[in-house]
Amino acid sequence: MLKSEITKRIKRHNILAFPQLNLNYWGINKVATSTMCNHLLIQTGVTVNTQNKSGQVGKRMTGKLHIDRQTAYTNNLINFAIVRSPYARFESCYRHFKYPKDEVQSFGSRKAKFDPVWSPDDFLDHIEKVFAKGNIGNKHYAKQSWFIPEPQRLDHVIKLENLVKNWPFDFSPPDFVSNPTTVVPSIKYNREKLHHLYAEDFNVFGY
């Protein structure tokens, strides 16, 4: 396998090592990753403009922090991840693709081959076809269990809904939100189909 392919795979796993904080952050797209990247960088002394309209400032500064899973398991740092209700994560992903707020979100939508005319159920049908082919899918809707295949090996897997209550570190949790999606009226879709498609996430992470 070419070095560039290895690097691409490692980056997609989205594990960032912060030795200054004694932790590895296992990021899952559409689970506050922009916020957490910014927040953790700030804790290391990096100046990050959290008011930047794209919210992607921190992510652009983490290129050299990516590590592979085996390194994360063996580098003696605390392994930490945040998970999210599969319903809320799907809705956030749909809003991101359907109603992009800036060019960064528009690019993400195009890269995922999202058709702007799709309803939430159309999007679910697309995800179903992708999964049926045995593909992981775009990082924004890939299963959370793909990012964290062995949650029992991590020190902390915290639900986003309980992040402040269950925050495990001496420094405070973030008090800002980066890269939010557009607020739209309630999104209606086939929740049973979503539960079926993401059954592993519901079961493994207790949703």
pLDDT tens column, 104-163 = 788 889 999 999 999 999 999 999 999 999 999 999 999 999 999 999 999 999 999 999
Residue 2 reports pLDDT greater than 50 = no
Question: Quick one: pLDDT band at residue 179, thresholds 50, 70, 90?
Answer: low
- In this prediction, residue 39 carries a pLDDT of 92
The residue-averaged pLDDT of 62-75 equals 92
User: For residues 165 and 42, what is the distance between their CA atoms, to the nearest angstrom?
Assistant: 21
- In this prediction, residue 184 carries a pLDDT of 78
- In this prediction, residue 1 carries a pLDDT of 45
- pLDDT-above-70 percentage for the chain: 90
The residue-averaged pLDDT of 12-39 equals 94
Closest CA to 58 of 3, 110, 88, 14: 14
Residue 171 is classified by DSSP as S
The answer to whether 84 and 159 have CB atoms below 8 angstroms apart is: yes
- In this prediction, residue 21 carries a pLDDT of 97
The answer to whether 32 and 92 have CB atoms below 8 angstroms apart is: no
- In this prediction, residue 10 carries a pLDDT of 86
User: For residues 98 and 35, what is the distance between their CA atoms, to the nearest angstrom?
Assistant: 21
The residue-averaged pLDDT of 156-185 equals 89
Question: Quick one: pLDDT band at residue 36, thresholds 50, 70, 90?
Answer: very high
- In this prediction, residue 180 carries a pLDDT of 72
Range in 53-57, 101-105, 143-147, 194-198 with the lowest mean pLDDT: 53-57
pTM beyond 0.85: yes
